Structure 1
Amino acid sequence: MHDIGRRRAYAIWGAGLAVYVLAVFHRTSLGVAGLLAADRFDINASQLATFTVLQLAVYAGMQVPVGVALDRFGSRILIISGLVCMTVGQLWFAVADSFAMGLGARALVGAGDAMVFTAVLRLVAVWFLVRQAPVITQVTGMIGQMGAVAAAVPLSAALHGMGWTRTYALAASLGVILLLGAFAVIKDSPYERGEVERIKLRALRHSLTEVWRDPGTRLGLSVHFTSQFAPTVFALLWGYPFLVSGQGLSPTTASTLLTMMTFVALVAGPTIGRWTGRNPYYRSVVALGVVGAIALVWAVVLALPGRAPLWLLVVLVAVTAVGGPGSMIAFDLARTFHRSDRLGRASGVVNMGGFVASLVTMALIGLVLDRLAPGGPSTYTLDDFRIAMSVQFLLWGFGAWMIWRYRRRSLDRVAQSPGAMDALRRGEALLPGISRDHEA
C-alpha cells in the first residue's frame, strides 16, 4: 500500500524513535539520582538496587507477552500504551515519599518501557528494505541512548537545582507531547492488515515453543545476555557510585563519563551495524570479541592496588559502552532465523536476555556491598567496589559459553536448508527456507 524505505518510513520511524529516546531517559533516570534516592527514601544498597532490579524484572518478564501482543495488535498500540505507562509511572515517582511508593512507580515505568523497543524494531523490519534494516536497527539503539545523555549531566543539574519532585514531574510531562506525535504519525505496516498474523489462544503455546526451540533464538538471547548487562548496570545504577565513592571522582566528572558512554555508542553502533550487515556469518564472533574486550579492561581496573588514573577510567567507560551496540547484533540474528510473522515474539525473547543479566548483576552487587559496607552508601570504599563489581565476570563467562554453544547449533540449523549456508557466507541475512520461504 505504501513505498518502503522512503520518506514516510523515516517519518514513522522517527516518531517511534522519539518515544524510545524518552523510554531510555526514564529507564536511566535513577542512574545519577541513586545517592539522592538513598537519602530521600532512607534505604540501604540492596533496597536501592531493588528499584532498578524491579524495574528491569518487570521489563524482562513482559517481553514474551509484549512480543505476542506486538504480532497481534501492531506497533502503534504498543508504543502508545507504553508511553502512557511511563508517563504515569514517572509522575508517581516524582511525588513518592516512601520506599513502597517508589517501587510501584519504577515497576510502572518498567512496564511501559517494555512495550517500546521491540515495537520500534518491528517498524524498522516492515518499513525498510532488507539492506537498510541492520544499519537502521543500530542507529535506533544508538540514537536511543541520547536519552541516557539527558539522564546524566542535565538531570543531575536539574535535581540539584529544582529538586526531586519538580525534576521528575517535568520529565513525565514530555510523554504528553510525544503521545500526540505517536497518534498522528505512526502506522503499523505498509501492507494490508491481513498480513499481520492473528494469534489465537489455542495456538499460542505451540507458537512460543517453536520460537524458543529455534537455536537462532537462543543464540540471539545469549548475545544480548552477555553484551548488554555491563553498560546497563554501569549507566543505570552502579557506575555513578563506583566512580564517585570508589574512584574519588567529582559528581560532575562522573556524570560526564556516563554521558561519554552514549557518544562512544554513537560511533560504535553504525560501525558494528555496517560490518555485521556485510558479514552476517561472523556476527556472534564479533559479540564475543566485544565481551572479551570489556572483561579485559575491567580486570585491569579492578586489579590495580589503588585508584585508577583518569585516562584508564575513560578507557573503561568507552569500552564498556560498546557492549550496547554489540547487543544489537542479537536482534539481527532473530531477524535471520524467524519469518516476519514471528519476529515480535522472537525479539521479545531475545530482549529478555540482557535485562535478566542486568537485574541479576545489580542485585548481586547490592548484596555484596551491603555485606561489606553495612553502614550504607556513605561508607563505601574502593575495596568494597572492587569485590562487588567482580561478580560481572561470572555472567561474562557463562554468557560466552552460551554464545559459543548456540553458534554451533545455529550453523547446523542453517546447514539443513538448501542454499542457506552459501547465502549466509555471501553476506545475506535473510535466508531461504529459514527467515523467508523458498523462492520459486
Structure 2
Amino acid sequence: MSVTAMAPSPRPSIGRLFVTISLPLSAGAALNQLNRAVTAVIAPVLADAFSLTASDLGLMGAVLFAAYALAQLPVGAALDRYGPRRVQASLMLVIASGALVFAASDGLAQLLVGRALLGIGISAALMAQLKATRQWFPAGKVATVAGWTVALSSLGGIVATVPAEWAAAHLGWRGVFIAVAAIALLAAAWIWLQVPDVPWQGVSSGGLSAEAATLARILRHPAFVRLVPCVIFLSALNFTWQGLWLGPWLRDVAGLDGPGRAEVLLFYALGFTAGSFFSGIVQARLVAAGAHPMALMVACTLGTIALSLAFALGLGLPLWLGWSLWPFLASVGPVGYTLVSARFPASETGRVSTAINAVMLAVVFAEQQGIGVILDLWPRTEAGGWDPRGYAVALALSALLQAGGLAWLLLRREERAP
C-alpha cells in the first residue's frame, strides 16, 4: 500500500491576503484617523458651546494622545502575544464606548473622559496594520503594502472633513459621535470574523520581567536611538495640526467659515491619502535603485520644514496647495516605522512599533497643549479667535523640532547593537 504525500498548501496571493487581512484592519484604523481629525472640524463649535479657552481645547486634544501614548506599550506586548485580530477587535469596543461618552458630555470633564477612552481605543490601529503586514506579506512587499493600508486608513481623515461638517450641521456634533460608535461596532465584527490569527511562530511569550527587558533593549537599540527622532517629528505634524489646530488656524489666520475650513481639511486628507499610497512604492523603488533607506524621510522632512516656515511667515501659498502638500510629505512617517522595526525579530515588531508610537504621541501631547498655551499669550481677537502671531510662533517651533530630529539623524553615528 503506497502513501501519497500531501503537497503543502500554496501561499495565498498578495491580493487575497490584502482583502482578508489588510481591508478589515484598515477599517479599524480609519476610525483612528477619523477620531483624530474630526476635532479640527468641531473644535470651534465646542469652544463656543462650552466656553473653552485655547488651553482647554489644547488639553481636550492632547488627552486623547496622552491616553493613546500610555496604551502603546501594553498594546505592543498584546499584539505580539495575541495578534492583531484579537487586540484590534477588542479595542473597537472601547472606541464605541468613548464616542458615546463624548456624545453625552455636558462639560469639559466629560469631554476629557470621552477623549481618553477614544485614545485607548485607537491605540493599536496603525501598529496592528504594520504587525499584520510584516507577519503575513513577503519582505519585499512590506513597505508597499504598508503604504496602501495607511492610504486606506486615511479615508477616515477624509470623512472627518466635508462629510463630518455636513453631518454636524444636520445631526449635531453629538450625532456625529453616535455614528462613530455604530461604525466601531461594525468594524469590530468584521475584524473578528475575517482576520486570521497570527501563526504561532510569530507569537511572543514570557512574563512581565521578560517584557520589560525586551522593551528596555528596544529603547536603547542604536537604530532606535538614531532613527526615531526624525521619524516621530515628521509623523507628529499630522497628529498635531490635522488633529486639532488646523481648523482654528483656518478660521483665525485664513478667515474661513465652517464649510470653507472643511474644504481645506478635505484637501489635507486627500494629500495624506495620496502620499500614503505612493510613499511605500517610492521607498521600495529608491532602495532598489541603490538610494539610502532614509533618503525619502530626509527629503520629506526638508520639504515640511520649508512649508512650516512659509506658513509662519505668511508667504501667501494657496491654501489648497500648501495644506495638501504638507500631509503628502509627512505621510511617509510609517515608512520610518518599518525601517526601524526591520532591525528587530518578527516576534518583537509590535512592541517596536508601539514604542516608536509612544514616544511620538508624547511629543504630540506636548505640542497640542503647548500650542494652546502659546495662543493664550495674546489677547483674543474681536472675532473671538486667537491672534495669528501665536500660530506663526507655533509653526516656527514645529519647523525647529523637525530640524533638530534631522540633525540628530545626520550627525549621530549608528553603532552596532549590543
CA contact (8 A) 1:284 1:329 kept: no
* Segments of 4+ moved more than 4 angstroms: 374-377
Residue 234 of structure 2: aligned partner: 227
Q: Distance in 2 between matches of 1:60 and 1:402?
A: 23
Residue 265 of structure 2: aligned partner: 258
1:165 is displaced (CA, Å) by 2.0
CA contact (8 A) 1:138 1:270 kept: yes
**Aligned pair in 2 of structure 1 residues 319, 245: CA closer, same or farther (>3 Å)?**
same
Q: What SS does the corresponding residue of 1:131 show, helix, strand or coil?
A: helix
CA contact (8 A) 2:274 2:328 kept: no
1:381 aligns with 2:381: no
Residue 63 of structure 1: aligned partner: 72
Quick one: which amino acid aligns to residue 275 of structure 1? V
Q: Distance in 2 between matches of 1:171 and 1:205?
A: 35
Match among 298, 308, 312 for residue 302 of structure 1: 312
Residue 93 of structure 2: aligned partner: 84
1:184 is displaced (CA, Å) by 0.8
**1:385-438, CA deviations, whole angstroms, 9 ceiling, x for partnerless residues?**
2233322133122222232245x31xx439x9xxxxxxxxxxxxxxxxxxxxxx
Q: Distance in 2 between matches of 1:187 and 1:219?
A: 35
1:67 is displaced (CA, Å) by 0.9
Quick one: which amino acid aligns to residue 187 of structure 1? P
**1:44-66, CA deviations, whole angstroms, 9 ceiling, x for partnerless residues?**
00011111111011112221221
CA contact (8 A) 1:330 1:350 kept: no
Q: What SS does the corresponding residue of 2:204 show, helix, strand or coil?
A: coil
1:139 aligns with 2:128: no
1:240 aligns with 2:243: no
**1:311-344, CA deviations, whole angstroms, 9 ceiling, x for partnerless residues?**
5323321231124422112222123201101111
**Aligned pair in 2 of structure 1 residues 233, 17: CA closer, same or farther (>3 Å)?**
same
- % identical aligned pairs: 20
Give the superposed CA RMSD: 2.2
CA contact (8 A) 1:227 1:354 kept: no
Match among 329, 335, 341 for residue 335 of structure 1: 341
Residue 289 of structure 1: aligned partner: 299
Q: Distance in 2 between matches of 1:129 and 1:266?
A: 23
1:404 aligns with 2:410: yes
Residue 210 of structure 2: aligned partner: 203
1:374 is displaced (CA, Å) by 5.1
Match among 190, 194, 205 for residue 185 of structure 1: 194
Residue 44 of structure 2: aligned partner: 35
CA contact (8 A) 1:76 1:187 kept: yes
1:195 is displaced (CA, Å) by 4.1
1:376 is displaced (CA, Å) by 9.6
Quick one: which amino acid aligns to residue 393 of structure 2? I
Q: What SS does the corresponding residue of 2:88 show, helix, strand or coil?
A: helix
Number of aligned pairs? Answer: 406
Q: Distance in 2 between matches of 1:24 and 1:194?
A: 31
Quick one: which amino acid aligns to residue 257 of structure 1? V
Quick one: which amino acid aligns to residue 398 of structure 1? G
Residue 3 of structure 1: aligned partner: 11
**Aligned pair in 2 of structure 1 residues 377, 12: CA closer, same or farther (>3 Å)?**
farther
User: What is the TM-score when the length of structure 1 is the normalising length?
Assistant: 0.86
Residue 413 of structure 1: aligned partner: 416
Quick one: which amino acid aligns to residue 299 of structure 1? L
Q: Distance in 2 between matches of 1:352 and 1:247?
A: 33
Q: What SS does the corresponding residue of 1:39 show, helix, strand or coil?
A: helix
Residue 368 of structure 2: aligned partner: 362
1:259 is displaced (CA, Å) by 1.1
Quick one: which amino acid aligns to residue 209 of structure 1? A
Residue 178 of structure 2: aligned partner: 169
1:249 aligns with 2:252: no
Q: Distance in 2 between matches of 1:376 and 1:219?
A: 46
Q: Distance in 2 between matches of 1:232 and 1:195?
A: 30
Q: Distance in 2 between matches of 1:146 and 1:66?
A: 24
Q: What SS does the corresponding residue of 1:372 show, helix, strand or coil?
A: coil
Worse-matched range after superposition: 258-267 or 172-181: 258-267
Q: What SS does the corresponding residue of 1:114 show, helix, strand or coil?
A: coil
Q: Distance in 2 between matches of 1:375 and 1:314?
A: 25
1:377 is displaced (CA, Å) by 7.8
**Aligned pair in 2 of structure 1 residues 398, 377: CA closer, same or farther (>3 Å)?**
farther
1:7 is displaced (CA, Å) by 4.7
CA contact (8 A) 1:224 1:353 kept: no
Q: Distance in 1 between matches of 2:278 and 2:188?
A: 32
CA contact (8 A) 2:90 2:188 kept: no
Worse-matched range after superposition: 154-163 or 366-375: 366-375
1:116 aligns with 2:119: no
1:3 is displaced (CA, Å) by 2.3
Quick one: which amino acid aligns to residue 186 of structure 1? V
**Aligned pair in 2 of structure 1 residues 45, 195: CA closer, same or farther (>3 Å)?**
closer
1:394 aligns with 2:400: yes
Q: What SS does the corresponding residue of 1:188 show, helix, strand or coil?
A: coil
**Aligned pair in 2 of structure 1 residues 355, 195: CA closer, same or farther (>3 Å)?**
closer
1:5 is displaced (CA, Å) by 4.3
**Aligned pair in 2 of structure 1 residues 4, 347: CA closer, same or farther (>3 Å)?**
farther
Q: Distance in 2 between matches of 1:269 and 1:140?
A: 8
Match among 346, 350, 353 for residue 347 of structure 1: 353
1:273 aligns with 2:280: yes
1:8 is displaced (CA, Å) by 4.1
Q: What SS does the corresponding residue of 1:356 show, helix, strand or coil?
A: helix
**Aligned pair in 2 of structure 1 residues 162, 205: CA closer, same or farther (>3 Å)?**
closer
Q: Distance in 2 between matches of 1:297 and 1:351?
A: 24
1:83 is displaced (CA, Å) by 0.4
**Aligned pair in 2 of structure 1 residues 61, 312: CA closer, same or farther (>3 Å)?**
same
